[in-house]
């Protein structure tokens, strides 16, 4: 249990992706079954218990310590689970024998609603604070690890020396504690057969167009489509199962019941999830956001922002696997397939006819709808290959928006950047004051980072922990050219706008802050 708790703490505090991978791989190597599989389940959010409510935790601790002392403690720490993990009295039972994660999980799973408090208390008596914290977070459903399911799968792939697509392909057929999976990755068993229906198919991704790419390709070999700024989804129906997956294979069916209801076909489609009512109306990305990152969704939201899928590929038609067919043939099948579906829930991503690359470039920079972020170029004879093969699919994005903003606050970075002020909050003018509009921590070179860091250190006016406030006056300050993909309305930000994917594109040492952009300019750019 101690090792598991330690892994969680380290994953949460380690900023670097590679270091997180290393921590997980080492854990899979050092920890026996079934504990490593349960750790994996905890990290990927696949370990659930009959949930324990905060009130129950409070009652448990109230039986064990003075209420006033608890109140002082909770007030200081701020997190209920953490406070209880720290103040829990030591040494109910023997503390020297560390109990295993699987023992704890088994006990909790076997507990009924009525004896859950006693079981939980019994476990807490036998653990040290970090493990108590992990258990409480698990049973309250509040565990944050800072690792995506995708990264965990990458760790599995690295651990077993296999491709991450192989992991994704078998993933949804498996359940904790994943002993079959580890047996395969250890080299002691064959790859698990995807025994279940409606599994996720690893997706094909595109490469950004880079210098010289276009010169090398023959436009005749390619077809063009708009690049939709929605979320990539895969809709799969087999037998009685209907599944909607994200691009990384997470099941997101629960968040889009309206779309799932219309999935009355047999096959697997690849496309973009958008909101609106095709063909007449496609919503903006801001509209789409009303539907994202929600486990459940209110009826009114579904009515106001109906989800639909704009299809661009077919991975299986009935039970026929289409992935080895060339795109041209898949497209013909797709058109016939989509024609049979509810037109308000499924439509085709139209092909964009073009004469030559100059023509395409014009289309790219002046797209007919705000939710289009560029052009996709797909090779007509390409099969559907998982991953990001170079050559068959290109994305050619509309140029980003840019504004000139003024550096207001800088925060120290992590890891390699822990001695640099590398996270910047910048603002634009409203009347004669600056309002923060975003935060960016990349886009600059190492040399530019050194320059900004020096500016920050030389122009600090205030400090709050790791954050410094810097001089930002009409005639003294640093102007940053910030590139971003789009703007949303935001009630959380003082400025009322939130940027998507902001990054520093240039340092404007030459420009006085007074000449930076105004909030009106941004307001006019709102979708």
Partner 1 sequence: MQPRDILHPRPEGLYCPPGDFFIDPVRPVDRALITHGHSDHARAGHGHVLATRQTLDIMALRYGEHFAGATQEAGYGKEITVNGVRVSFHPAGHVLGSAQIAVEHGGTRIVASGDYKRAADPTCADFELVPCDVFITEATFGLPVFRHPDAADEIARLLKSADQFPERAHLVGAYALGKAQRVIRLIRDAGYSEPLYIHGALAKLCEYYQAQGIDLGRLEPATVDTGTKGDFAGAIVVGTPSAFADRWARRFPDPVTAFASGWMRIRQRVKQRGVELPLIVSDHSDWDELIETIAATGASEVWVTHGREEALVRWCEMQGIKARPLHLVGYEDEAE
Binding residues for partner 1, rule: CB under 8 A, are 6, 9-10, 13-16, 19, 22-23, 26, 65-66, 68-70, 72-73, 76-79, 82-83, 86-87, 90, 128-129, 412-416, 418-420, 465-466
Nearer to partner 1, 331 or 468 (CB): 468
Q: Residues with Cβ < 8 Å from 16, sequence gap 6 or more? A: 415, 416
Q: Residue 179 has which token pair?
A: 């002993």
Nearer to partner 1, 19 or 50 (CB): 19
CB of residue 463 to partner 1, shortest distance in Å: 11
Nearer to partner 1, 77 or 119 (CB): 77
CB of residue 10 to partner 1, shortest distance in Å: 7
Nearer to partner 1, 68 or 94 (CB): 68
Nearer to partner 1, 470 or 519 (CB): 470
CB of residue 414 to partner 1, shortest distance in Å: 5
Nearer to partner 1, 26 or 304 (CB): 26
The span from the CA of 108 to the CA of 103, in Å, is 9
Q: Residues with Cβ < 8 Å from 368, sequence gap 6 or more? A: none
Instruction: Find tokens 């609603």 and name the residue.
Output: 113
- Phi, psi values for residue 50, rounded to 5°: -60, 115
Nearer to partner 1, 69 or 298 (CB): 69
Nearer to partner 1, 277 or 416 (CB): 416
Q: Give the number of other Cβ atoms within 10 Å of residue 419's Cβ.
A: 9
CB of residue 282 to partner 1, shortest distance in Å: 41
**Nearest C-alpha neighbor of 229 from the set 338, 335, 349, 385:** 349
Query: How many helices and strands in the chain, by DSSP H and E?
Result: 20, 20
Q: Residues with Cβ < 8 Å from 315, sequence gap 6 or more? A: 201, 234, 267, 268, 269, 270, 321, 322, 323, 384
Q: Residues with Cβ < 8 Å from 122, sequence gap 6 or more? A: 92, 93, 107
CB of residue 232 to partner 1, shortest distance in Å: 32
Nearer to partner 1, 43 or 363 (CB): 43
The span from the CA of 155 to the CA of 161, in Å, is 10
Nearer to partner 1, 390 or 463 (CB): 463
Nearer to partner 1, 128 or 361 (CB): 128
Give the residue ranges of DSSP H helices in 48-128: 54-62, 67-77, 80-87, 101-110, 116-125
CB of residue 46 to partner 1, shortest distance in Å: 24
CB of residue 420 to partner 1, shortest distance in Å: 8
CB of residue 464 to partner 1, shortest distance in Å: 10
CB of residue 494 to partner 1, shortest distance in Å: 23
CB of residue 8 to partner 1, shortest distance in Å: 11
The span from the CA of 186 to the CA of 208, in Å, is 36
The span from the CA of 37 to the CA of 481, in Å, is 46
CB of residue 407 to partner 1, shortest distance in Å: 19
The answer to whether 235 and 309 have CB atoms below 8 angstroms apart is yes
Task: Indicate the Cα dihedral angle 11, 14, 17, 21, nearest 10°.
Answer: -40
| HEC per residue, 484-525 | ECEEEECCCCCCCEEEECCEEEEEECCCCHHHCCEHHHHHHH
Instruction: Give first-to-last CA distance, the chain, whole Å.
Output: 50
Q: Residue 355 has which token pair?
A: 């004469």
Q: Residue 345 has which token pair?
A: 């829930």
The answer to whether 497 and 490 have CB atoms below 8 angstroms apart is yes
Nearer to partner 1, 72 or 501 (CB): 72
CB of residue 505 to partner 1, shortest distance in Å: 25
CB of residue 43 to partner 1, shortest distance in Å: 18
The span from the CA of 291 to the CA of 307, in Å, is 8
Give the angle subtended at the CA of 37 by the CAs of 31 and 38, to the nearest 5°. Answer: 100
**Nearest C-alpha neighbor of 32 from the set 178, 130, 192:** 178
Nearer to partner 1, 65 or 119 (CB): 65
């Amino acid at each position: 249990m101690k090792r598991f708790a330690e892994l969680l703490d380290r994953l949460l505090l380690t900023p670097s992706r590679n270091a997180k991978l290393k921590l997980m791989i080492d854990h899979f190597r050092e920890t026996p079954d079934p504990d490593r599989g349960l750790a994996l389940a905890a990290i990927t959010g696949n370990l659930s218990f009959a949930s324990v409510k905060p009130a129950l935790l409070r009652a448990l601790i109230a039986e064990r310590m003075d209420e006033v002392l608890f109140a002082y403690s909770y007030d200081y720490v701020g997190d209920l689970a953490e406070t209880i993990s720290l103040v829990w009295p030591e040494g109910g039972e023997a503390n020297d024998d560390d109990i295993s994660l699987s023992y704890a999980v088994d006990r909790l799973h076997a507990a009924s609603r009525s004896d859950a408090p006693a079981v939980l208390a019994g476990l807490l008596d036998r653990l040290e604070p970090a493990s108590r914290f992990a258990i409480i977070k698990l049973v309250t459903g509040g565990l944050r690890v800072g690792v995506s399911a995708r990264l965990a799968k990458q760790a599995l792939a690295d651990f077993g020396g296999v491709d991450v697509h192989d992991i994704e392909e078998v993933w949804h057929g498996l359940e904790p504690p994943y002993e079959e999976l580890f047996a395969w990755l250890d080299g002691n068993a064959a790859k698990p057969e995807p025994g279940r229906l409606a599994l996720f198919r690893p997706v094909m991704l595109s490469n950004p167009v880079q210098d010289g790419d276009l010169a090398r390709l023959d436009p005749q070999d390619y077809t063009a489509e708009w690049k939709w700024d929605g979320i990539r989804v895969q809709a799969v129906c087999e037998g009685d199962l209907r599944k909607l997956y994200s691009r990384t294979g997470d099941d997101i069916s629960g968040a889009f019941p309206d779309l799932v209801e219309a999935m009355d076909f047999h096959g697997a489609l690849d496309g973009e999830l958008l909101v609106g009512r095709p063909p007449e109306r496609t919503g903006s990305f801001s509209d789409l956001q009303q539907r994202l990152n929600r486990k459940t969704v209110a009826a009114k939201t579904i009515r106001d922002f109906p989800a639909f899928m704009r299809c661009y590929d077919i991975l299986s038609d009935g039970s026929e696997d289409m992935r080895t067919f060339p795109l041209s043939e898949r497209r013909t099948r797709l058109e016939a397939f989509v024609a049979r579906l509810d037109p308000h829930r499924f439509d085709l991503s139209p092909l964009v006819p073009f004469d030559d690359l100059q023509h395409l470039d014009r289309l790219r920079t002046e797209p007919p709808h705000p939710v289009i972020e560029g052009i996709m170029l797909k090779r007509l004879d390409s099969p559907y290959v998982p991953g990001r093969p170079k050559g068959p699919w290109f994305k050619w994005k509309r140029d980003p928006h840019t504004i000139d903003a003024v550096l207001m606050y800088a925060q120290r970075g992590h890891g390699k950047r822990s001695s640099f002020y590398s996270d910047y909050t910048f603002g634009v003018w409203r009347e004669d004051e600056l309002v923060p509009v975003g935060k960016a921590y990349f886009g600059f070179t190492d040399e530019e980072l050194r320059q900004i860091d020096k500016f920050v250190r030389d122009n600090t006016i205030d400090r709050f922990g790791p954050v410094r406030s810097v001089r930002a006056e009409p005639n003294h300050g640093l102007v940053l050219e910030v590139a971003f993909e789009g703007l949303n309305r935001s009630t959380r930000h003082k400025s009322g706008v939130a940027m998507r994917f902001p990054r520093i594109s240039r340092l404007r040492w030459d420009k006085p802050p007074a000449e930076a952009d105004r909030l009106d300019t941004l307001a006019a750019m709102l979708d």
